[in-house]
Amino acid sequence: MAETPGWTGPARPALDAPPAGPPPLPGPEAPHALVIGGGFGGLAAALRLSCRGYRVTVLEALDQFGGRARVFREDGHVFDMGPTIVTVPHFFEELWTLAGRRLADDVELQKLDPCYRILFDDGSHFDYSSDGETLRREIARLAPGDLAGYERFSAHADRCWALGFGQLGAKAFDSTGDLLAAIPHLVRMQGWRTLHALVAQHFRDPRLRMVFSLQSLLIGGNPFSVTAVYSLIHALERRWGVHWAKGGTGALVQGLVGLLRERGVVLETGAEVTRIDIQAQAGSRRPRATGVSLADGRHLPADVVVCNSDVAWTQRKLIEPRWRKRWTDERVERADHSMSLFVWYFGTDRQWPEVPHHMMVLGPRYRGLLDDIFKHHHLAEDFSLYLHRPTATDASMGPPCMDTFYVLSPVPHLGSGTDWSEVAERYRQAVQERLEATVLPGLGQHLRVSRLMTPQHFHDELRSHQGAAFGLEPTLMQSAGFRPHNRSEDIDALYFVGAGTHPGAGIPGVLMSAKALQTVLPDPGALARPSHATARLTR
């Protein structure tokens, strides 16, 4: 597809030339950075910190790295527990290049076409493609009168990508001036409008209004309340497509872990941080983070602390209230938190070759269901589903002649009051019945592996406030400078990356948060070495 005139977004890096050699490894006297949490944001931040010249330690509370992108295996089935869609491969390529390597040497990415199939409740479907002409044919098949509207919407999505991610995404919003400077861009992107309102302006067919607005759900946002800026998701899907990492998303996690090990980064699992250690500074109104305390009794000193943990959880559980002026408990509770997820992982003893790699099975309601989830915090009887079948593309994800699946249903966070210990199995059975009636006939007779994850798991295992799967909901007043900053507003030497900070959730967002961190992080050579940070670390 031709580029939009005036396109100023990032181009994909040229990959024909070999990468430059890796930066020198930090010496024993280099400033020390502690990273709390080993999700994509934390691992990317750790790599950038190491390449910048910091000694780095990554502390992960779970038994493996990846955060929401962790993996489990059972009876030959391999399950990615979280994100499955890679939309901007060059964000990963950039990280490998920083380390003096090629991504393709460690991870094989495969572009999928169609990106995903959307099955409507009336039985019709839409194959969403990154190829412009194929996509136009699908639009014409459903609603030829909406083709002109699509061209206008696509041009607006390009503008939002160029301005929203290309110019603002990798820059930390660190002051009121940063926010004021972004206002002209927000005006050009019609940021005051909701995504669905923008889509409805350009499409008349109700099915196409769903097709081009539901992507915000992939980052935890209600299309009826998130800003129209998130139309940029369509632009990035169209420009770079949807990719699959052979071996699963976990292969990307392991690739990053390998890069960090090569650089001598200290990587610890089962290392639960219980407090960020903070001290008052003489001559300053702002306190300073000096390290962390762990559940096993250790106190690790640091020159800087970078949190990839859930921001709301971190503020309420890891930072004493006396140090927090902006993100008080009351402010965290008043914020709009994203939806949560019910996820059923299952393996079967047969295959359904007609089911594509990614599929969305929509229910009878769209806005009403989303109102129940986001506004009323009510667990409805109906649902819409995202079905992931990696064995459609990658035979290594399951035993021969068998299928590996997960199915995901957006649900309210724990503010709904739902007791998932009582509801989970009944809800799973309802999901199974829906799949059997639509795309997986006879499913119940062929199950061999089954496991659930509910909002309670997001709260208890992933330390996510209210079990929200994506942090704060990305509404206009909780985006950019209104979101928790990459540099703490209250505490020196404390930083944030991941879904809960700028620019937001989704793999591209959390990787860009690590890049935005670089715009506010001090150069290690400029840091005075305080005596508390020179102590030898206990490993």
Domains and CATH numbers, the chain: 32-68+251-334+473-534 (3.50.50.60), 148-240 (no CATH), 339-469 (no CATH)
Taking a C-beta distance cutoff of 8 angstroms, is the pair 138, 146 a contact? Answer: no
Longest dimension (CA), the chain: 70
Task: Find, among 117, 114, 115, the residue nearest to 125 by Cα.
Answer: 117
pLDDT value, residue 189: 58
Q: CB under 8 Å to 56, separation ≥6 — which residues?
A: 26, 32, 33, 34, 35, 46, 49, 50, 260, 263, 265, 266
Q: State residue 19's pLDDT score.
A: 64
Q: What is the pLDDT of residue 283?
A: 87
Per-residue b or e along 405-415, where b marks 16 or more CB atoms closer than 10 Å to that residue's CB: bbbbbbbbbbe
pLDDT, tens only, 77-126: 999 999 999 998 999 999 999 999 999 999 999 999 999 999 999 999 99
Q: What integer pLDDT is reported at residue 228 of this predicted model? A: 87
Looking at residue 187, its pLDDT comes to 55
Residue-level pLDDT at 177: 58
Per the CB < 8 A criterion, the answer to whether 370 and 222 are in contact is yes
Average pLDDT per run of 10 along the chain, which is 539 residues long? 35 50 90 97 98 97 96 97 92 96 96 96 96 96 97 90 61 54 57 87 97 93 91 90 96 98 97 97 93 98 97 96 93 93 98 98 97 96 97 98 98 97 98 98 98 98 95 79 86 95 89 92 77 39
- Does this model's pTM top 0.75? My answer is yes
The whole-number pLDDT of residue 531 equals 41
Q: Give pLDDT tens digits for 203-248.
A: 999 999 999 999 999 999 999 999 888 888 999 899 899 999 999 9
3-class state of residue 464 by DSSP: coil
Angle at 83 between CA 461 and CA 272, to 5 degrees: 25
